[in-house]
Amino acid sequence: MESRILYKSGACAVVNKLAGEAVEGEKEGIVNLARGLSGFWGLNEDVVQAVHRLDVPVTGCTLFALTKPAFTLLADAFAGKNNLKIEKIYWAVIEKPLRAVRESGDLIHWIETDTKHNKSYAHNEYAAGRKKAALRYKITGEGINYLFTQIELLSGRHHQIRAQFAKEGLHIKGDLKYGAKRSEKSGGIRLHARSLEFPDPLNAAETIRVTADPPVLDNLWKEFFT
């Protein structure tokens, strides 16, 4: 666990999450990362609180608050309140589609979530129960079978990147739920929270920026560094 702690203060911590871990509310047989951190640091289980929620198969920067005031401030930042700003950058390996894809652009959709089946759907128009979702992407590399993509997440909806890309006919490697051809051997998907910038709960005028390498740095992930 120690090697995965990317940042820690008295108010918050950022951990490099592994595929298969839940940040909270895990099902049977799935590791609860917040609970694991509580035990590692010798804290009560209700002290470590996830501020944002990476999906179970996703890896990378995960932010936890360690005090109630820190949780309130950081939750407000992620909700876009009080002029508090955050930056969320992701890397994704995309199955190469048959059609050409623009090198960069913004995607704006309206997200509808099916809680029964734990899946989100992106639509081009607003309707009751749908929430606006926006992201900015750039293709940073191209292989024979895959596109290597960097994403700035401009909102925070359930399964947002996965649903928005699927709507555009783009499928994250390993993500069977959203149309990928085959699963990953690890059980995860090729979506990684690369960096996170957020206000310092101990001094909101200052920002903290943390970067995470993919936990398993194989040849596909190494393409992002070339």
Compute the distance between CA of residue 146 and CA of residue 221 in angstroms, rounded to an integer: 11
This prediction has a pTM of 0.94
Whether the per-residue pLDDT at 26 is higher than 90: the answer is: no
Average pLDDT value for the chain = 94
Q: Which residues have a Cβ under 8 Å from the Cβ of 52 and sit 6 or more positions away? A: 62, 63, 78, 88, 156
Closest to 31 (Cα-Cα) out of 18, 21, 17: 21
Q: What percent of the chain has pLDDT over 70?
A: 99
Mean pLDDT of 164-185: 96
- Measured between alpha carbons, how far is residue 127 from residues 130, 133, 154, 186, 197 in Å? 6, 13, 20, 37, 32
Q: What percent of the chain has pLDDT over 90?
A: 86
- Measured between alpha carbons, how far is residue 176 from residues 46, 57, 124, 125 in Å? 33, 11, 22, 25
Chain CA centroid to CA 213, Å: 13
Contact, 37 vs 15, CB < 8 A?
yes
Mean pLDDT of 96-108: 94
Q: What is the pLDDT of residues 37-62, one digit of tens each?
A: 999 999 988 899 999 889 999 999 99
